[in-house]
Amino acid sequence: MKAKAEMDGIGGGGHAVGQPIKQRELDSHVKGQTLYYEDVKVPRMLHLKIHRSPVAHARILNIDTSKAEQSDGVVAVLTYRDVPATKVWSHFEAIGAAPGAEPILAVDKIRWKGEPIAAVAAETLSQAEDAAAKIKVTYEKLPSVFDVDEALAPGAPELFDCWPGNHYVFPDDHKAAQIRFGDVEKGFAEADHLVEHVYRTRPIEQAPIETAGCVAVPGSDGRYTIYTNSQALSTTRNSAAEIAGLPVARLRLVGGTAGGGFGGKVDMAIEPMALLAAMKSKRPVKYRFTREDEMTVSSTRAAWRVSIKDGVMRDGRITARHVITHQDIGAYLRNSIYGAFKHASHMPGPYTVPNVWADVYCVFTNRTPSAAMRGFGVMPASFAIEMQMDRVAKAIHMDPWQFRLKNAFRNGDMKAHRREVWDAALVETIQAAARLTAKDLPEEYRQMSSAKRPLSAPRIAGG
């Protein structure tokens, strides 16, 4: 038992907390023995390069690939006509809940600068790059919008006919992911102070050391193997199979160590594109992002605009929180619905507020499509909430540490999305931080516990 525990790196007691844990891959990393998709060497492998749009919004009038097809070393050139499903799969588009799905190669319209239009598979990477540069696309340029304010303004250019006003509409005709808890207007009426502010974040690139990439290999039995650094193998396999029009059973994905991802390698179009090129050329195809690709055309964390209005009593109790958030999802939906739901469910943060109203909108702009990055949807919410907590504390002349402790979740409280709190730890976390930083808290705050809340301060909606 001791040997097994030591092998598992968790100590004799079988608990990880407080024990030195050795990363499983540490030795192979240090010795340079870790295998990445780049280590896959396949005979007769082709290299793939994408021709991308230099404009952010336009109609495609013509795509001329003739010169690329005649270039040295070129084996296959692909446009949307070579794509059976002509869309990138995402969790919601795949079940028909989101019209206006994203094409793997642009069909009739460009919605963001860098959108892929055609692909070239050639004997060498330089040959693929030269041929891709020879593709000529004729555009009718359209006006663009690059933030939610522009996108929601009256008369703004619309990205989709099916989404008027650049608003995505959730299933059941809801325009936003919503939280409704208690009576917010009643909470505002009872409050001694009202404090409101708007908080904004900008798009962020995940910037992993290893860029996105894969190798697609056709087999003699009609099956295909893709070696990839995807963070989501099953999702990527389903996506690639659907786009290529293949049964899922004919597609095998081999993952390995990803050299960083942080969410940016969750919903990529790398694998389906390489697969389509392998199917057309009947040869293995390698497709990898350059560092420039990674920084300019890979999905980013979305930009968010979060408007918060709080009602608060003189003694620091928050009576109501009203939130309206607009998520700048970029040109296509991808996994933004999931981010909106997580953002909404995180309201009003780790604080028990008896009256909560939250609307989280997804707004289309001509930016690079956004997707996951570390706490998808939650981190922008946490940023806005904690900035607001400091702002409110200052407005009522209360210590921000004490203000947070007074409103922190306690076990037995009800969250705004109607789940009872059972694992609260914010009180103890703040107390520990205070001790480590020599912050002097009054005795009553040092004695607080997540296990209970004074009966004189009920925090359940309607309580």
CATH code of the domain in which 181 resides: 3.30.365.10
In a domain, 72, yes or no: yes
Residue 122 lies in a domain: yes
Mean pLDDT along residues 55-81: 98
Greatest alpha-carbon span in the chain: 81
Residue 82 pLDDT: 95
* H/E run at residue 325: strand 318-330
Closest CA to 397 of 308, 314, 318: 314
The domain total for the chain is 3
Same structural domain, 180 and 275: no
In a domain, 178, yes or no: yes
Q: What is the secondary structure of 262-321 as a DSSP string?
A: TTTTSS-SHHHHHHHHHHHHTS-EEEE--HHHHHHTS-BBPEEEEEEEEEE-TTS-EEEE
Q: Which of 88, 123, 141 finishes a domain?
A: 141
pLDDT at 196 over 60: yes
336 and 269 in one domain? Answer: no
- 18 belongs to a structural domain: no
Q: Tell whether 190 and 94 lie within a shared domain.
A: no
Query: Rounded to 5 degrees, what angle do the CA atoms 187, 192, 198 make?
Result: 70
Q: Which is nearest to 215 in space by CA: 225, 227, 200?
A: 227
The verdict on 182 and 320 lying in the same domain is yes
Average the pLDDT over each of 82-91, 138-147, 243-252 and give the range with the smallest value: 82-91
Q: How many CB atoms lie within 10 A of CB 183?
A: 16
Instruction: Report the SS3 class of residue 190.
Output: helix
What is the per-residue DSSP string for 43-78? Answer: TT-EEEEEEE-SSSSEEEEEEE-HHHHTSTTEEEEE
Region 319-342: what's the mean pLDDT?
95
| Range of weakest confidence among 283-287, 309-313, 433-437, 452-456 | 452-456
pLDDT for position 463 = 36
Same domain? For 217 and 196 the reply is: no
In a shared domain, residues 399 and 306: yes
What pLDDT, on a 0 to 100 scale, did the predictor assign at position 2?
43
Contact 208, 48 (CB under 8 A): no
Give yes or no for a cis peptide into 348 (omega within 30° of 0).
yes
Q: Pairing mode, if any, of strands 356-364 and 193-200? A: unpaired
Assess if residue 349 is contained within a domain: yes
The Cα–Cα gap between 318 and 333 comes to: 35
How far is residue 456's CA from residue 244's CA, in Å, rounded to a whole number? 62
Total-model pTM? 0.91
245 within a domain of the structure (yes/no): yes
Residues 6+ apart with CB under 8 A from 318: 310, 311, 312, 348, 351, 353, 392, 407
- Which residue in 183, 111, 95, 115 sits closest to 151, CA to CA? 111
Together in a domain, 181 and 324: yes
Residues 252/218, Cβ–Cβ less than 8 Å = no
- Whether 107 shows a pLDDT value over 90: the answer reads yes
Give residue 7's pLDDT band: very low, low, confident or very high (50, 70, 90). Answer: very low
110 lies in some domain: yes
What is the pLDDT averaged over residues 410-428? 95
d(CA 264, CA 66): 34
Under a CB-based contact definition with an 8 Å cutoff, are residues 330 and 114 in contact?
Answer: no
Residue 376 lies in domain = 171-203+300-446
Answer whether residue 118 is part of any domain. yes
Quick one: tokens of 304? 């968010």
